[in-house]
Structures are given as C-alpha cells and as structure tokens.
Structure 1
Amino acid sequence: MRDTALPMDDRGLAYGDGVFETILVRDGRPQLWKQHMARLQAGIERLALPRPDLAAFEALPAQCGPGLKVLKLIVTRGSGGRGYRPPALAEPRWRWTVSAFQPIAERWFEGVNVRCCELRLGRQPRLAGIKHLARLENVLARQEWQDDAIAEGVLLDSEECLVEATAMNLVWRREGRLETPLLDHCGVDGTLLNALEAVVDIDRVRVGLDTLLAADAAWLINSVQGAWPIRRLDDSAGNCLRQWPLATSDAFRQAAHEQLGYPLNRSD
C-alpha cells in the first residue's frame, strides 16, 4: 500500500515496532535490491514479525517512474496487543513512498568534513545490524550540529568502539587493508557495505577512535549517497583531530559507485 496514514494504534507508530528500507531506484530499476530484501527479511525475523508477502514488493520499483528516485518501504507489526505486549496473531502493515532524489555530487570528489558525536550508542545485539524503526539515538546524534559544512557525525558505542555515522557506514584504509567496524552489538549493516564485501576485501574490526585517526584514508558510504571520502575529522567541539589528503585516484569510491551506477570520475 502506498503512503497513507497509519492508525494511532499501529505498533510501528507507537513503539517503533517494525523495520524499513530506503532504496535507490534508477529509471524503475532498484539498486542493490537483493541486499535490501535480505536485510528486510532479517529484520522481520529478528523482531518475530509475521512475514508479509515479499513478492508484492517486487512490483514497487517499476512504479517509481523515470529518473533517480528513493523508494522507502516500511513494515510494521500492525495494530493490536496491550501496551508493549504484542498481539498473538499480528497482521503486519506495510507502506511505501517515493521521492525524487539528487545526490550531492561534489562530496564524491571533494570529500567531506565530519565530526565525532557526543552521543554513545547503546549495545543491543538482538537489534544490531537491522534497520528497525526505533532510530532515536541517530536522531539525537544528528541534532548535535546545524553547520551545513559538517556532512556527518561519527558514532561510538558505550564501550568507546567505533560503529558508524548517523546515516552511513564507515570504512578506512590502514596499513594497506580496508577495515570497517564490527556491527554485532549495534549499528546498521549497510546494503552497500554488504555488496562491496563481495568484491573487495574488508575486515570487520572492533577498535576505538585511535584506529581511525591512524588510517591513511577513510570514507562514509551508503546505498543512496554512494561514497564520500573523509577530508577532515573534528571532535564534538570543532577541534580538528585529523585531516586526510584527497587521492587522485580513489579505487574504493569507484568500487562503491560501480554498485550504484554513479559516476566514477568527475568527467563522467
């Protein structure tokens, strides 16, 4: 069902009891559809939601029309139950909406400035990796700055381990190896990250901020924006912690953009 109002007793609206996916669609063709559907299914199973008819989702991208669009798909447990107690026989409810999209292309080639967030993510392995609807931690973290010159915020967990950015995954190169944080305690297991791991060697590691500061290059990635090289990292007070030179040939960004159909070079 397309974007229509949810009833006040919908559990996704009331408690964040559901999952969602945000999918880049190019001329009616979804990008990384397999990865998005796999994560959606993983989230449905993790929350013990009744499985909706996933085949019904297959027709949605073609309805997005020409051009570059973002398809947002939400699945909730539906209504019922008493308080936090879910209904014994839930009837899941799903909605979808489409919006036009234009990526910020200069960030691909000029890099971005990012900051460290003060907020620390709580560890909850049962929710780690999936894209559930209860994103208040990310909202509070993004609320920490209003400066448009800061593109993103880096998040650590309660044990001071690197996790992700507020809406993107984090990858860096250190001693010739690509690394990304382990996401078994918290964070979102990105679909672009998953796709890249099938074609590029990326080690998942549990490390602190010092490891990122020791890297010789770093990127933020997701399946809508593509890959942004990090140019500068500040602390939460705006003090520069590290600057990185932009590479003349960014093989990692190019590998990411091959997955999404984005330009590999400025002249493309």
Structure 2
Amino acid sequence: MPMPQVPFDDRGLAYGDGVFETVLLRDGTPVLWDYHYARLRQGCQRLNIPLPPLEQLAAAWQSPAAAELEVLKLILTRGSGGRGYALPDALSPRLISRRVPFVANAQHWRQGVNVRICQLRLGHQPLLAGIKHLNRLENVLARQEWDDQTIAEGLLADTDGWLVEATSMNVFWQRNGELFTPELTQCGVAGTLRAALLDQGTVRESAIALDALRDVDRLWVANSVQGVWPVNTLLSETGEVLHAWSQADQDTLQVAGHQLLGYSLSSC
C-alpha cells in the first residue's frame, strides 16, 4: 500500500495542528471504538477542527482484514493554508490512515516489565490535557533518555512532581486493595483503555508523587493496543533500583483490561 502524501503546507506537519488515534483492530473491527471516537471528538472541539463524518472514519477499517490483529492509525490535521499560525479562511481537514498487522507482547503480560523514571517533566496546559494532539515532543524527548532494551517504559511526572503517565501508556497502581490512575487535568493523554476501566469502576483517579511509588502494593503500565504490563522493577533517572514487586497469581487489573481488549493469556 502506498504511503499517503502530505503537502508541504499541511498544518499538522508544520505545527502539530491536529489529533490522532491508534486503534486496535480485531478481525477488522475497532476495539473500544466508542472511547476512541469520543476522544477524537473532544480533541477536535478543543482545537476547533471539524470532525469528519463517522462514515469517512469507518472507511479506514472497512477493507478486508490482513490479520486477526491490526493497528490502525488515524491522523486528522487541520489541513493546509493560513498565514503563519493564523487559521485558513476555509477549513478543509485532512484525514490519513494506515493499518498494519500486530502481535501483542504476551511475554510482558506474563513476566512483567522494568520501568524507569524520566528526567523530563511535563508542562501544564489544561486546554490540551487528555487529548491526543500531534505535538508529542515531550514524549519524544523523554523516550531518548534510555536505550536499554530491558527497560520497557519511562514514567513521566509534571513540573510539580506528580505522576502523570508513561511515555506511551497510562499508569495504574494498587494501594490497600484499591486501584488508581493519575488525574489528567493539567497534562497527559487520557487513554481509551483507562477511560473504559474508569467507567466500569475498576479504577478511580487519584494523585501520587513520584517518591511515593515505592510505597504502592503494585504498579502497571497499560494502553489499548499493548494491554496491561505489570511492573517488576522501578528504576530512578540514573538507573538505581528504587523498588521491586513480586507478581501476584491473580492480576485484577490485567484481567479487567484484557477482557475489554479481547486478550487472553491462555491463548498466547
């Protein structure tokens, strides 16, 4: 399949002026689509970009599936035009998409992962908090902080030291039998799996400082494509082991998350 061509003056390319969604397809059907669509709609409202008709979005996955599992990426930019940062007189949003076969990392599900704390701190911008806009430079910079393949993710805090997210996943923890995820009112991406877990009451929002992570009973990173990864070891910015967790036989968060995604440990 030829790659879509983006004009030089596309505002998504020039300014990150747009939003995107990364959607798990199972047998050609989008998983958690209602949550992806709701976040896409919210992102368009925040940026004042017209939301494409649902039929136009659905055309991205209506061709025959190439594999049982695929990942679909939808990118919506404001389109071309305008002088500098000023908006064009007539908006013509540009929607491009790509889908590729996908294999989930079941080893991470079963064995857990190591994560590190990132040095980068996320800035506050409530107008952009929660949505998946195209300017992800903070995440790009954070991901450059390590190249150790034994480290699966990096945890990001805001400028006040509160845990927000991982570089490409949301974060969850357990304390005294309850499951929590950070509030995302100032920055961060509100993931669709996170939203579904909140809606069903499996987790609730709370705030936690980075230095309090050593005191939680369990820790996870998760998203709607990769599923739920239990954290084995938490490393500092300099690679020092801050805490290690043993994995429980029954993983309540993973069971709930994987039911929503259609993943099964026994089938992988």
TM-score, length-normalised on structure 1? 0.96
Structure 2 distance, partners of 1:45, 1:69, is: 28
Summarize the alignment of residues 6-45 of structure 1 with structure 2, pairs less than 5 Å apart: 6-45=6-45
Structure 2 distance, partners of 1:51, 1:37, is: 10
Q: Can you give the 5+ residue segments of structure 1 that lack an aligned partner in the other structure?
A: none
- The aligned residue for residue 75 of structure 1 is 76
- More divergent stretch after superposition (198-207 vs 222-231): 198-207
1:181-209 C-alpha deviation (Å, 9 max, x unpaired): 11000000000001111223422122211
Summarize the alignment of residues 1-268 of structure 1 with structure 2, pairs less than 5 Å apart: 3-63=3-63, 65=65, 66-263=67-264, 265-266=265-266
**Helix, strand or coil: the match of 2:24?**
strand
Cα offset for 1:3?
4.4
Structure 1 distance, partners of 2:42, 2:235, is: 35
Q: Can you give the 5+ residue segments of structure 2 that lack an aligned partner in the other structure?
A: none
Q: Which amino acid aligns with 2:69?
A: L
Structure 2 distance, partners of 1:31, 1:50, is: 24
Structure 2 distance, partners of 1:259, 1:22, is: 16
What CA RMSD, in Å, does the superposition of the two structures yield over aligned residues? 1.3
Structure 1 distance, partners of 2:132, 2:120, is: 19
Asked if 2 retains the 8 angstrom alpha-carbon contact of 1:190 and 1:222, the reply is: yes
Cα offset for 1:251?
1.7
Structure 2 distance, partners of 1:257, 1:153, is: 22
Structure 2 distance, partners of 1:88, 1:182, is: 37
**Helix, strand or coil: the match of 2:63?**
helix
Q: Which amino acid aligns with 1:91?
A: S
**Helix, strand or coil: the match of 2:127?**
coil
Asked if 2 retains the 8 angstrom alpha-carbon contact of 1:109 and 1:266, the reply is: no
Asked if 2 retains the 8 angstrom alpha-carbon contact of 1:25 and 1:64, the reply is: no
**Helix, strand or coil: the match of 1:204?**
strand
Structure 2 distance, partners of 1:16, 1:26, is: 29
Q: Which amino acid aligns with 1:230?
A: V
Structure 1 distance, partners of 2:145, 2:3, is: 30
Cα offset for 1:210?
2.8
Cα offset for 1:103?
1.2
Asked if 2 retains the 8 angstrom alpha-carbon contact of 1:113 and 1:232, the reply is: yes
Residue-pair matches, total: 266
TM-score, length-normalised on structure 2? 0.96
